[in-house]
Every structure is written in structure tokens, then in C-alpha cells.
Amino acid sequence: MNKNFNTQQTDRIIEMAWEDRTPFEAILFQFGVSESEVIELMRSELKESSFKLWRKRVNSGVSQKHLKKRNDDIKRFRCSRQRTISNNKISKR
């Protein structure tokens, strides 16, 4: 993969890939990174054991990483509360 992402973008791609309900299509839409490129990124950024656990979970059928496996339509990519989150801490209200 020859795309250069900053640390925040790389972290966000990994976070999205790790989430079971975020499909690869959402990552492709937001970052222009295909499923195979996500796998390559995960392989290079994660420890080997973490990568193996992630691949096992994605391939096990439990994960909903593909739109074809999902029953619902995706209308948004973010949690409704995500705007109040900064630096992984929920802001005081």
C-alpha cells in the first residue's frame, strides 16, 4: 500500500477495522482504502497475535464487516454521540 496516512488517520482506520459493525465499504468510502489494503495495514501495524485474532473474528461469520452480510442499511458512519467525544474522552456536558 503506497498511501501515506498520518497517525490519526491510521489509528482511525484500525479502529474502524476492529469494530465489528463498521463495514469495509465505509472505510473505502471515507479513506479510499480497499479491504485488501486494510488487511495489509492491519498486518503491518498490529502485533502478530492481535492481527490473527482480528482475522479470525472477521472471517468467522460473527463479524458484519461486509454490507452483504448486514440486514440493515447504513445511513451514517458515526455514533450519534461522537461529536461530543474528543481525544477518546467524553466531554463534560
DSSP three-state, residue 85: strand
pLDDT, tens digit, 9 for 90 and up, residues 10-50: 999 999 988 877 888 889 988 999 989 999 999 999 999 99
CA nearest to 19, candidates 72, 65, 61: 65
Q: What is the pTM of this model?
A: 0.65
Residue 76: CB atoms within 10 A of its CB come to: 8
Distance (Å, whole) CA 33 – CA 57: 20
Sequence spans of domains, the chain: 7-70+77-86
In the predicted model, is pLDDT for residue 72 greater than 90? no
Distance (Å, whole) CA 93 – CA 76: 24
Higher pLDDT, 3 or 27: 27
Per-chain mean pLDDT for the chain:
77
Mean pLDDT value of segment 68-85: 56
| Identity of the amino acid at 3 | K
Distance (Å, whole) CA 41 – CA 73: 27
Instruction: Please report the pLDDT score of residue 64 as a whole number.
Output: 61
Instruction: Please report the pLDDT score of residue 83 as a whole number.
Output: 53
Side-chain-side CA neighbours of residue 67 (13 Å): 11
